[in-house]
Structure 1
Amino acid sequence: MNILLTGATGTLGSRVLFSLLEQRFDTIEKLYLPVRKRTITSPEDRIKNVISSEFATDFIKENLIEIFNKIKVIDADDLLNPDSFLENNKVDYFIHSAGFVNLSTDPNAKQEIFKENLQFTKDIFNAFYKHIVKFVYISTAFAAGNIGGTIDNDYTVIETEDYRNHYEASKHASEKFLLKAGKEKNIPIQILRPSVLGGNINESPNYFISKYMVFYLFAKFFNNNNSDDAIRITSNIDTGLNIIPTDYAAQVIAKVISSDIEQLNIVHSKETNMIKGISKILNVVEFSNFTFTDELINSSTGFSSKLEQFYYETIGVHLHPYMTSKPNEWDTKLLESILPIPTYNLEDYLSETVAFAKDKNFRNQKW
């Protein structure tokens, strides 16, 4: 079996890499990993850093030599020229996990976000469809937009323009392109949609995540501020955030790629209430001078403090659409039949993930 995985140095992609090797080690012949070079770090060294990291699983650490023999690192600049590295080999599973996660709502950011997500997806599918057996696309559960209510796995029936940002819109557009192109080229397409990623729940170290995004940005903001100013945080009382541990999402992806399932949301069955969750986060970072409101706060309404203004002019711009989203219920029957969702207290998990991040000074891994 040959697998090509994009995004192997990313938050989810690195865990997918570990899970693929653990679950399919004996059947993997070659694992192709396209990676961008950094200024002073080659693609090969970046993968070595991931595989030999202290945060790798025990299985990875114990089988390093055999694992390196199965991996072929590709300079990302050569990705769109598959003939240059496939050597007539067929790719059984092309897993496209790389993505441009940018939660900006700025109209000027739309072109870049769609280029990095939609156009890049088009480019790689068109370059590889003759070389692959199946194309697996890692989307986002939030590609449905802000629709509210019960959400199941079929997003082809969802018609909405109510996206919280260009990222969601670009991922949904990529899904639509792939499902159509797959039918035209007779290539099976699988769409897998994790929700917001949190720290590990099963794999060691618990609560680890390689990059701190979304609710972690909230924690980092208040952890790093040195102000005693009061702040009003806009959030609806019934708004929730769906968070799934990264290791669980990766395990599901590695397991489900060989199934005939076309679309699958990798989500928790319950949302974490936003007000309760944010209160837990702020307690961990020891910030207490806050209140919640359902009122809109911006430059037109005025700010009550410099901290409040700074919040709403920086991360608040990106997080506000999620703080005020319509509540959702998620149909997880199919997901649970593949791999049961771990049992844990949602609010305690949120506290522990933030405490872990705080202990690590919210430093992202630079693989």
Structure 2
Amino acid sequence: MTNIILTGATGTLGSRILFSLLEQKIEQIEKIYLPVRSKAAISPERRIQNMLSSSNIPEFIKKNSKAIANKIEVVDAKYILEPTTKLKSKNIDYFIHSAGYVNLSTDPAAKEEVFQENFDFTKNLFNHYGNQINKFVYISTAFSFGDVGGILKNDYVENRTGNYRNHYEASKHASEKFLLEQGKAKNIAVQILRPSVLGGNIEEAPNFFISKYMVFYLFAKFFNNNTSNDNIRISTNDFSGLNIIPTDYAAKVIVKVLETNIEQLNIVHAKETNMMKGISKVLDAVGFSNFTFTQEQITAATGFASKLEEFYYETIGVHLHPYLTSKPNEWDTALLESILPMPNYNLEDYLLQTVSFAKAANFRNQKW
């Protein structure tokens, strides 16, 4: 029987990994330990109960709630590094580290916090549990290699990287290199799995559902909430693209590769969604049409054409601009497709439908 620790179980991807683990491996699992933080007045146990009783979970989870309850043990995350925790004496087959601090800030002052939350915490987990785990599975990001352009293969560690767009990418790549180096030194299996930007479900009901609206959803929400008639110029170019992957697909792949000896895997779509076409679909979904595209980098020094434009470039535009102007990439998905074929769907229609779903939900994150 298999024992698993899964961090980030209340997150967008972590929750789907949990559901996929239970659906694909419930007969093999002895326990899944879920380190969860309390949130406001909600205890860790209650947060998991809220998630498992949500209407937005797969039918398998709803129909097997009693069996699933016996498989799950919630642990207060504040004790995860303390030797008195009940996890200390357990042999763990898979430690799946899905929790992460997504902060796309480029401010030098943010670097220390981002590295503490991602790099330092990952090191502490690995060092603390190294003598009792068979495999450490790290959920990184397909963007950890930085803005390099060209063909991206699965091995990010042996090759040098280009420019990181932010501290988040740098912290994830540093974590990958540490884990692979220390895994070999300590004879612990390490697996690095890198989903790209997460979008709504493509196959699981409800279609296009996602539990937390981030990245391109924040772009959509910004313009959805706009009440002015101002025009705005959006900096991008005709060759940049964004790689988006449905969350349910990513979770299924992660569970399928656990028992393999695959060391690094990018969980990405073979094609990027063109920025200009994608942005047009996003803004169409939220009913905003007062925009034009420009390849000029707009800053306070160049001047702003409107108050809305100024507000955009001083808030989310700061974080999103490096992605809207990234070098074009091609992704080697041969290995990924051999594990689980990518569902066939139109990238731009999918983007329109996911944003329409989010708009109908008022961009409200799930309260788990």
Give the TM-score taking structure 2 as reference length: 0.99
Shift of 1:161: 5.0
Distance 2:233 2:113 in 1: 32
1:278 aligns with 2:279: yes
Matched with 1:74 is: 75
- AA in 2 matched with 1:284: A
Distance 1:290 1:322 in 2: 18
Distance 1:246 1:216 in 2: 14
After superposition, give the CA deviation of every residue in 1:136-185 in whole Å (9 maximum; x if it has no partner). 00000000100000001000133135001100000000000000110111
| Partners of 1:82 and 1:128 within 8 A in 2 | no
Matched with 2:52 is: 51
Deviates more, 1:301-310 or 1:160-169: 160-169
Distance 2:149 2:227 in 1: 37
1:266 aligns with 2:267: yes
Shift of 1:261: 0.1
| Partners of 1:16 and 1:251 within 8 A in 2 | yes
| Partners of 1:136 and 1:191 within 8 A in 2 | yes
Change (3 A) 1:130 1:87: closer
Distance 1:213 1:260 in 2: 32
| Partners of 2:148 and 2:162 within 8 A in 1 | no
- AA in 2 matched with 1:268: H
Distance 1:42 1:289 in 2: 45
Gaps of 5+ in 2: none
Distance 2:113 2:252 in 1: 31
Secondary structure, in 3 states, of the residue corresponding to 2:191? strand
After superposition, give the CA deviation of every residue in 1:313-352 in whole Å (9 maximum; x if it has no partner). 0000000000000000000000000000110000000000
Secondary structure, in 3 states, of the residue corresponding to 2:29? coil
Matched with 2:102 is: 101
| Partners of 2:145 and 2:173 within 8 A in 1 | yes
- AA in 1 matched with 2:36: V
Distance 2:289 2:8 in 1: 38
Change (3 A) 1:161 1:271: closer
Percentage of matched positions with identical amino acids: 69
- AA in 1 matched with 2:333: T
Distance 2:329 2:161 in 1: 15
Matched with 1:169 is: 170
- AA in 2 matched with 1:186: N
Secondary structure, in 3 states, of the residue corresponding to 1:29? strand
Secondary structure, in 3 states, of the residue corresponding to 1:228? coil
Matched with 1:114 is: 115
1:36 aligns with 2:37: yes
Secondary structure, in 3 states, of the residue corresponding to 1:326? coil
Distance 2:162 2:76 in 1: 36
| Partners of 2:155 and 2:264 within 8 A in 1 | yes
Matched with 1:322 is: 323
After superposition, give the CA deviation of every residue in 1:47-98 in whole Å (9 maximum; x if it has no partner). 1111111111000000111101111100001111355213632100000000
Distance 2:307 2:183 in 1: 52
Shift of 1:39: 2.0
1:55-66 equivalences under 5 Å are 55-66=56-67
1:333 aligns with 2:358: no
After superposition, give the CA deviation of every residue in 1:293-315 in whole Å (9 maximum; x if it has no partner). 00010000000000000000000
Shift of 1:364: 0.7
Deviates more, 1:75-84 or 1:136-145: 75-84
Distance 2:87 2:77 in 1: 14
After superposition, give the CA deviation of every residue in 1:23-57 in whole Å (9 maximum; x if it has no partner). 00000001000000112111001111111111110
Distance 1:209 1:125 in 2: 29
Distance 2:79 2:29 in 1: 22
The size of the alignment, in residue pairs, is 367
Matched with 1:202 is: 203
Matched with 2:133 is: 132
Gaps of 5+ in 1: none
Distance 1:305 1:77 in 2: 46
Matched with 2:14 is: 13
- AA in 2 matched with 1:11: T
| Partners of 2:220 and 2:355 within 8 A in 1 | yes
Distance 1:327 1:15 in 2: 29
Distance 2:108 2:294 in 1: 27
Change (3 A) 1:83 1:262: farther
Distance 2:298 2:225 in 1: 22
Change (3 A) 1:158 1:331: same
**CA RMSD across the alignment:** 0.8
1:348 aligns with 2:354: no
Secondary structure, in 3 states, of the residue corresponding to 2:144? helix
Distance 1:87 1:325 in 2: 44
Change (3 A) 1:304 1:183: same
Matched with 1:359 is: 360
Distance 2:182 2:88 in 1: 25
- AA in 1 matched with 2:103: N
Give the TM-score taking structure 1 as reference length: 0.99
